[in-house]
Structure 1
Amino acid sequence: MKNKILVINGSVSPIEKSFSVALTNLFIEEYKKIDPQAEYIHLDLNNEEMAHKTLTRDNMATYFNENDTFKYINQLKEVNKVIIGCPMNNFNVTGLVKNYLEHVLLANETFSYKYSKKGEAIGLLKDLKVQILTTQGAPFGWYLFGNHTEFLKGTWEFMGAKVNSPVLFAGTKIAPVDKQNPNEAVLQVKDEIIKAAKEF
């Protein structure tokens, strides 16, 4: 069966300046060497009206709807792999990614408490494999309270997905990386990317 892969871009930077887009492109380039027949669906959250909607008490009654929720949940159920690229913004995922997750994290659709023990949720996206590709301006460990990579990993696992080893490219705002072209800079973690692609 041909792999159907959803590629989610959660960066708010211009594409040519985005380290997470460069990291995603490098991963896809390496994965194509392993699986040249895979089909890709690209989802740039900047272009999705849903990703611009934040849940509030005023819109809670209409927030989960056909166009903003079920469309994207069905998309997840129609693919067997997801690649998500996301930079750190203010110590967490971007607002676009947070809004996306808010829409697809829906009880009895992507997770359920039915038949669970001790109140633990049961993830319903068990056929999904996810590759997380993250970037951050500071070197890893500078701000231990901000770990968007682990947040993404835990969230996808909560929905039942099998998460491949995430790849984090840290220190993008520190010299000399901050002066480098993103496509050249991400080559520093090419070995990690190649390893992840082989396992994906």
Structure 2
Amino acid sequence: MTTILVIESSANGDSSVSGLLVKDALRDLLAAHPGARIIHRDLGASPVPHVTTANLAGVRGEPVTETEKATRTLSDTLVAELKAADIILMGVPMYNFSVPTVLRSWFDHVLRAGLTFSYTEAGPKGLLDGKRAIVIEARGGLYSEGPAQAIDFQEPYLRQLFGFTGITDVTFVHAEKIGFGPEARAAAIDGARAKLAGIIASLDSKAA
């Protein structure tokens, strides 16, 4: 049975473009994988706590306090969800040229030595190979090409973090220029939907 991990990170609720496209993609994935198990994390609505002095030992060290122990339990749960996933579907709006801090916190909890990566004599090695990720990026401007591409700290960052865990089969879908007015927003959504449909159909054919 296919397991799909859905990660949403927008603070924009029902008005989120990335959230809308995640719902569309999930519908198509379920049509291609009937009976798939869904694990859903809406980080905008239920954020993973940021790493602080009070909880750091829960993800990097030996937990002693109740706060640290609770953090370790949460981190173990998030790592287990990621390990169980065959497909990761992630919705990511661009905030200040990068990712929402709630998504950074999720990565802070799942990037753990010995669980999702290991240190070797040749350097760090990801332990989660064999998974596929589809990342939907919603952006107010145009960052995939042109002058603003130099300040895109969203996609390179995500590619690096996924790769660090061994997840290298990552496909990015852009919904760009959504801040350029209603017509541009609608065109961006339609274009992203078409790309997602093709990607999901390709995933299904590879599985077959």
1:54 aligns with 50
One-letter amino acid of the counterpart of residue 56, structure 1: T
1:186 aligns with 2:186: no
Residue 92 of structure 1 aligns to a residue whose secondary structure is coil
2:93 matched to 1:93? Answer: no
Gaps of 5+ in 2: 61-70, 204-208
For structure 1, the 5+ residue unaligned runs are: none
Q: 1:94-141, CA deviations, whole angstroms, 9 ceiling, x for partnerless residues? A: 011000001111111111113x42x2x110112322111111111124
Could you say what the CA RMSD is over the residues aligned between the two structures, in angstroms?
2.2
Q: Tell me how far apart the structure 2 counterparts of residues 179 and 130 of structure 1 sit (CA, whole Å).
A: 24
Q: Sequence identity of aligned pairs in percent?
A: 23
Structure 1 stretches of at least 4 aligned residues deviating more than 4 Å after TM superposition = 177-180
The aligned counterpart of 1:10 is: 9
Correspondence 1:195 to 2:198: yes
Task: Decide whether the 8 Å contact of 2:177 with 2:185 is kept in 1.
Answer: no
Question: How has the CA–CA distance of structure 1 residues 170 and 55 changed in structure 2, closer, same or farther, with 3 Å as cutoff?
Answer: same
1:58, distance to aligned residue in structure 2 (A)? 5.0
Q: What is the CA-CA distance between 1:152 and the residue it aligns to?
A: 1.2
Whose RCO is larger (CA < 8 A, sep 6+)?
1
Query: Paired residue for 1:23?
Result: 21
Report if aligned partners of 2:18, 2:91 keep a CA contact under 8 Å in 1: yes
Classify 1:47/1:176 alpha carbon distance in 2 versus 1 (closer, same or farther; 3 Å). closer
Asked if the contact 1:164/1:199 (under 8 Å) is kept, the reply is no
Q: 2:134 aligns with which of 127, 131, 134?
A: 131
What is the TM-score with the length of structure 2 in the denominator?
0.81
Question: How many equivalent pairs are there?
Answer: 190
**What is the CA–CA distance in structure 1 between the aligned matches of 2:199 and 2:170, rounded to whole Å?**
7
